[in-house]
Amino acid sequence: MSPSLQINVDKIQYNTATIVERCRRQSISVLGVTKGFTAIEQIVQAVVEGGVDGLADSRMENIIEMRDRGFHLPITLLRIPRLSDVLNVIGYVDTSVNSEFTVIQALADAARTRGRVHQVILMIDVGDLREGLLQENAFRAAVQTAKLQGVKLVGLGTNMGCFGGVLPSTDNLGLLVRLTRAIEHRLGSQLEVVSGGGTSSLLLLENGLLPSGINQLRIGEGILLGTDTTNQRSIPGLHQDAFRLQAEVIELKEKPSLPIGEIGRDAFGNIPQFVDLGNRKRAIVALGRQDVNIEGIWPLTAGITIIGASSDHLILDVTDSETDIRMGNEIAFGLTYSGLLSASQSRYIAKVFIGGRYDRTNTGH
């Protein structure tokens, strides 16, 4: 039996609806971010049914697939558009985030040729140092963008936590709001969107500290896993178990815990480190680095630990397992965001949908 990703769509819908309700109390719209699960149709549907105001993804391939499958909610492209892909962006995307005027100009030219107006959010770097304009360059970019035909400047946005690990705060998000107001004054018109980050901004929302003026959040991890990795927490009131990875035991033996012979580099160029614990009961499951990011999963059964992995095999110490492990058993694993990202796009992992009208297996999207 292939490894399987068990997906509870009811829990995903519940998480979505709960976050949407919390945000709407403070007049904040929610974009459901679909990149973390490669926009699998059944999960997108659960997010849509949870009441999001729009969808968002960083991959044009996912966006095109969502359009082809009939999802009509507004879609935002979360990665700066490639110059080579502006025609697709204009054809499939309502709004894109941008920080390069050359790209914005190309989007405007492409939109005019198709008789369309494409919406643009200027990304502002408030400290995380990933994408975005430095604050001193924002006014000029806003004025230049507002003058173009074919695009409409609808707002400002920022990203935090994904590169530099900078946490959202009243200070950096307050700066985004103040910059928006100053640009509105310069342009003589109001901007529709102030996009204040993603899941990591929910803690401020919950504590009543999100600056007034932030009116959009882009939520992925919180909806899917009910967690906030940046702030190292489970989000109260949400399900943390909507996804579970299962793999079958294909070998079960007692072996020494210390390899025998001279230690060199493994198949991935690393020098493994081992502690001599004597003989231990070890299980190998049919799951490896070619299937999933091993660092993004953990055994759900107490007493089982991951020793290591190759491309095809995951080696576990099951000596202290709270349940009796036998050949052919399936062992279940929880997933972090990085684990989910890799498992969802793996063609070697079957997707099993639980809840609602599903309860069936689908190995594709």
Report pLDDT digits (tens) over 212-243.
999 999 999 999 999 999 999 999 999 999 99
Structure tokens at 267: 């198949």
Choose the weakest-confidence range: 130-144, 201-215, 273-287. Answer: 273-287
CATH superfamily for 9-230 is Alanine racemase (3.20.20.10)
Whole-prediction pTM = 0.92
321 SS3 class:
coil
CATH assignment of 243-362? 2.40.37.10
In the structure, what pLDDT confidence band is assigned to residue 361 with cuts at 50, 70 and 90? very low
Distance CA 250, CA 329 (A): 9
**How many other C-beta atoms are found inside a 10 Å radius of the C-beta of residue 1?**
10
Distance CA 166, CA 104 (A): 27
- Mean pLDDT value across residues 5-30: 98
Q: Can you say whether residue 159 is alpha, beta or left, with left for phi > 0 and alpha for psi between -120 and 50 degrees?
A: beta
- Mean pLDDT value across residues 298-317: 97
Assess contact for 3 and 287: CB atoms under 8 A. Answer: yes
**For the chain, the helix, strand and coil percentages under 3-state DSSP, each to the nearest 5:** 30, 25, 45
The identity of residue 43, as a single letter, is: I
Assess contact for 121 and 193: CB atoms under 8 A. Answer: yes
Q: List pLDDT tens digits, range 153-210.
A: 999 999 987 766 788 999 999 999 999 999 999 999 999 999 999 999 999 999 999 9
Q: In Å, how far from its chain's centre is CA 290?
A: 20
Does pLDDT of 29 surpass 80? yes
Q: Look at residue 26 in the predicted model and tell me its pLDDT.
A: 96
Does this chain's domain 9-230 share its CATH topology with 243-362? no
306 SS3 class:
strand
Which residues on neighbouring strands pair with residue 216, listed in sequence order? Answer: 29, 195
Torsion of Cα atoms, 305 then 289 then 352 then 240, to 10°: 50
* Contact residues for 74 (Cβ-Cβ < 8 A; gap 6+): 53, 54, 55, 94, 95
35 is catalytic: yes
* Contact residues for 276 (Cβ-Cβ < 8 A; gap 6+): 256, 257, 258
Which sign does the torsion angle of CA 229, 233, 239, 244 carry?
A: positive
The strand pair at 233-234 and 227-228 is best described as antiparallel
Q: Look at residue 365 in the predicted model and tell me its pLDDT.
A: 45
Q: Tokens 């599903």 label which residue?
A: 358
Active-site option among 35, 152, 255, 281: 35
Half-sphere exposure of residue 252: CA atoms within 13 angstroms, side-chain side: 14
Which residues on neighbouring strands pair with residue 357, listed in sequence order? Answer: none
For the chain, the structural domain boundaries read 9-230, 243-362
